């Protein structure tokens, strides 16, 4: 079976870039990306590709090449479902904020709504692809909804989790380590699986396209994120030990990462991992293990989150302690709000929690981030509900010029590893600050010795 028309429900950080890559690499396939969020779709359709809703290096060029040729963004969900041979579900699956599993389980209401809408609208057979990250055995529930409310058409369900990382989405999609496709072990399941293999085979070498059963595929996605986050928590746990023993966590990471069995990636100590995936997916894994009564398994993975929360709090506490145990009324420059460089995504960013801690201590915070706007920063803080929106706006300022952030500040803290921070004119910035001038490097990106020579009192994660 050859796919001619794809619909993707959900035009977010995954749906947008993934479908753009499929459209670019498969000119014979029509790709309709649909979303209920009108503003988001309008931004995807903006003539000025610099105004796309998502910032990702290389993405705007790719969108400019394919949009309105074989790639279309629209809010016409039903129409796109009807026309498609294959439907990707790429909607959000956040942590539940209510009811059973609150704060742990994945909220599947958006997924279920999609399934019900597909079932109501479809008049021809469809292959449904789970692109969203889902708890293991979700395909079973999807199949029941689709089969019981449908119009007698046949639905095949595949699991095809996405492994792209934000900030490198385009290169990850262009050159993935692997593409994972889980399918049912039936004749029609295998045919559906092959149809999706053929789509990816337009640009991904065949040996990197892995096929498994649906449950392995669903569980592999949660597991991959849990393993990656575990490495960050492992090195972060050691960063605290390094600080009290005068070992250097950068040197330790290099020494252990040179062992080919361990490998060098994901060993960068930091103020804590953020992003929309790691915490949500581990909490979900913990919840699943708990629901099967596997207490030790659940406790083991929960520790990754506990360590990450500790690291964020530890960094904020360090700032307050260093500034003579009081930051009330002191101006602190915060550099970076995004959860990592090269993205405008702020979901679960460590910056939110560090700044919340500082605002609780009545610090005056001034934030500079090259890609995140003031509206988003205030929205992130307001969402925590720690203090009133009015107080957040009174205590925190957002500036477009980093120099302004340093003016008469007592301290500066790097919370995102944006490249431009490395090339700041640190001599001039030092002059702008009150003395002693404290600099907290939460990303290990600055030359510690060089900055100390300028006069800064430095704190780098993982260095005594
Ligand atoms: P997102 O919030 O950026 O996008 C989801 C979109 O789905 C939103 O625009 C929302 O309006 C839309 N939507 C929700 N319900 C809808 C419906 N019924 N009909 C039409 N549109 C609907 O989320 P995201 O970051 O793209 O993540 C999507 C999924 O992919 C999640 O399950 C996530 O865990 C997974 N994932 C994310 C990443 C990442 O880096 N962000 C990476 C891998 C996997
Ligand atoms: C992650 C997974 O990498 C990706 O495969 C999955 O599809 C989605 O979740 P993402 O969250 O976009 O991607 O970014 P990632 O590069 O994994 O970084 C996550 C967080 O960990 C960031 O806050 C980052 O700064 C932090 N991190 C990462 C570290 O603190 N140290 C490291 O060594 C690596």
Q: Are 9 and 39 in contact (CB under 8 A)?
A: no
pLDDT band at 225 (very low <50, low <70, confident <90, very high): very high
CB neighbour class for 183 (10 Å; exposed up to 12, middle 13-18, buried from 19)? buried
pLDDT score of 73 more than 80: yes
Q: Are 179 and 210 in contact (CB under 8 A)?
A: yes
pLDDT band at 368 (very low <50, low <70, confident <90, very high): very high
Question: Which residues neighbour 231 within 8 Å (Cβ) at sequence distance 6 or greater?
Answer: 266, 267
Mean pLDDT of 310-325: 98
User: What's the predicted TM-score (pTM) here?
Assistant: 0.97
Mean pLDDT of 419-436: 98
Q: Which residues of 134-146 are buried (b: 16+ CB within 10 A; e: fewer)?
A: bbbebbeebbebb
Question: How many Å apart are CA 155 and CA 142, to the nearest integer?
Answer: 10
**What pLDDT, in 10s, does the model give residues 125-177?**
999 999 999 999 999 999 999 998 767 899 999 999 999 999 999 999 999 99
Mean pLDDT of 215-221: 97
Question: How many Å apart are CA 156 and CA 193, to the nearest integer?
Answer: 9
Q: What's residue 228's pLDDT?
A: 98
Q: Is ligand 2 within 6 A of the CB of residue 225?
A: yes
pLDDT score of 464 more than 90: no
Question: How many Å apart are CA 322 and CA 325, to the nearest integer?
Answer: 7
- Going by alpha carbons, the residue nearest to atom 21 of ligand 2 is 273
Q: Is ligand 1 within 6 A of the CB of residue 353?
A: no
Query: Which ligand ends up closest to the CA of 230?
Result: 2
Q: Is ligand 2 within 6 A of the CB of residue 234?
A: no
Of 319, 326, 335, 311, nearest to 406 (Cα)? 335
Q: Which two tokens stand for residue 243?
A: 């600080």
H/E element holding 83? helix 77-83
The backbone torsions φ and ψ at residue 6, rounded to the nearest 5 degrees and listed phi first, read: -115, 140
Is 277 a residue of the active site?
Answer: yes
CB neighbour class for 24 (10 Å; exposed up to 12, middle 13-18, buried from 19)? buried
Query: Which ligand ends up closest to the CA of 165?
Result: 2
- Going by alpha carbons, the residue nearest to atom 17 of ligand 2 is 165
**What pLDDT, in 10s, does the model give residues 263-274?**
999 999 999 999
**What pLDDT, in 10s, does the model give residues 5-14?**
999 999 999 9
Mean pLDDT of 9-33: 98
Mean pLDDT of 326-346: 97
Q: What's residue 149's pLDDT?
A: 73
**What pLDDT, in 10s, does the model give residues 192-202?**
999 999 999 99
Secondary structure letter of residue 457 according to DSSP: E
Active-site residue, selected from the candidate residues 277, 340, 341, 361: 277
pLDDT band at 296 (very low <50, low <70, confident <90, very high): very high
> What residues does 89 pair with on adjacent strands?
9, 130
Q: What's residue 148's pLDDT?
A: 84
Mean pLDDT of 108-123: 96
Question: Which residues neighbour 290 within 8 Å (Cβ) at sequence distance 6 or greater?
Answer: 104, 298
Task: Check residue 396 and give left, alpha or beta (phi > 0: left; psi -120 to 50: alpha).
Answer: beta
Is 162 a residue of the active site?
Answer: yes
Q: Is ligand 1 within 6 A of the CB of residue 158?
A: no
Residue with tokens 């390094």: 242
Active-site residue, selected from the candidate residues 25, 221, 312, 340: 221
Q: From 168, 275, 305, 337, give the residue whose CB has the most ligand 2 atoms within 8 Å, as the site to mutate.
A: 275
Question: How many Å apart are CA 220 and CA 226, to the nearest integer?
Answer: 10
pLDDT score of 411 more than 70: yes
Q: Is ligand 2 within 6 A of the CB of residue 275?
A: yes
Question: Which residues neighbour 423 within 8 Å (Cβ) at sequence distance 6 or greater?
Answer: none
- Going by alpha carbons, the residue nearest to atom 5 of ligand 2 is 163
Q: Is ligand 1 within 6 A of the CB of residue 41?
A: no
Question: How many Å apart are CA 16 and CA 13, to the nearest integer?
Answer: 6
How does strand 30-34 pair with strand 5-9?
parallel
Question: How many Å apart are CA 352 and CA 349, to the nearest integer?
Answer: 6
Task: Check residue 385 and give left, alpha or beta (phi > 0: left; psi -120 to 50: alpha).
Answer: left
Active-site residue, selected from the candidate residues 56, 130, 162, 417: 162
Percentage of residues in the chain with pLDDT exceeding 70? Answer: 100
Residue with tokens 């029609």: 188
Percentage of residues in the chain with pLDDT exceeding 90? Answer: 98
Mean pLDDT of the chain: 97
Q: How far apart are the first and last CA of the chain?
A: 61
pLDDT band at 333 (very low <50, low <70, confident <90, very high): very high
Q: What's residue 150's pLDDT?
A: 65
Question: How many Å apart are CA 91 and CA 447, to the nearest integer?
Answer: 41
């Amino acid at each position: 079976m050859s796919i001619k028309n794809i619909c993707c429900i959900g035009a977010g950080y995954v749906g947008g870039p993934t479908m753009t890559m499929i459209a670019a690499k498969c000119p014979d396939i029509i790709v309709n990306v649909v979303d209920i969020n009108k503003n988001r779709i309008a931004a995807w359709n903006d003539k000025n590709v610099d105004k796309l809703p998502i910032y990702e290096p290389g993405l705007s060029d790719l969108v400019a090449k394919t949009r309105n040729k074989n790639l279309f963004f629209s809010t016409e969900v039903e129409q796109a479902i009807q026309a498609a041979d294959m439907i990707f579900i790429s909607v959000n699956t956040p942590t539940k904020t209510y009811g059973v599993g609150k704060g742990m389980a994945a909220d599947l209401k958006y997924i279920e709504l999609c399934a019900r809408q597909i079932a109501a609208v479809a008049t021809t057979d469809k292959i449904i692809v789970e692109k969203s990250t889902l708890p293991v055995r979700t395909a079973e529930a999807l199949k029941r909804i689709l089969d019981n409310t449908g119009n007698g058409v046949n639905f095949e369900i595949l699991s095809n989790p996405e492994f792209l990382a934000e900030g490198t989405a385009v290169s990850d999609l262009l050159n993935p380590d692997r593409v994972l496709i889980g399918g049912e072990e039936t004749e029609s399941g295998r045919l559906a699986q092959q149809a999706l293999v053929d789509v990816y085979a337009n640009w991904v070498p065949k040996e990197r396209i892995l096929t498994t059963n649906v449950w392995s595929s669903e569980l592999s996605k949660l597991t991959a994120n849990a393993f990656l986050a575990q490495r960050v928590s492992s090195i972060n746990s050691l960063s605290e030990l390094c600080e009290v023993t005068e070992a250097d966590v950068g040197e330790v990471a290099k020494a252990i990462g040179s062992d080919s069995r361990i490998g060098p990636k994901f060993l960068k100590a930091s103020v804590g991992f953020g992003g929309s995936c790691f915490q949500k997916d581990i909490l979900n894994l913990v919840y699943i293990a708990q629901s099967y009564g596997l207490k030790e398994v659940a406790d083991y993975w929960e520790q990754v989150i506990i360590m990450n929360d500790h690291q964020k709090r530890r960094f904020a506490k360090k700032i307050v302690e260093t500034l003579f145990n009081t930051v009330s009324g002191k101006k602190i420059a915060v550099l970076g709000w995004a959860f990592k460089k090269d993205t405008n995504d702020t979901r679960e960013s460590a910056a939110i929690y560090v700044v919340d801690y500082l605002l609780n201590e009545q610090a005056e915070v001034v934030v500079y981030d090259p890609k995140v706007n003031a509206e988003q920063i205030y929205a992130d803080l307001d969402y925590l509900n720690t203090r009133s929106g009015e107080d957040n706006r009174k205590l925190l300022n957002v500036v477009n010029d980093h120099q302004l952030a340093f003016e008469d500040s007592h301290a500066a803290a790097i919370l995102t590893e944006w490249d431009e921070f490395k090339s700041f004119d640190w001599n001039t910035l030092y002059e702008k600050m009150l003395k002693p001038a404290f600099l907290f490097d939460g990303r290990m990106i600055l030359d510690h010795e060089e900055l100390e020579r300028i006069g800064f009192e430095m704190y780098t994660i993982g260095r005594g």
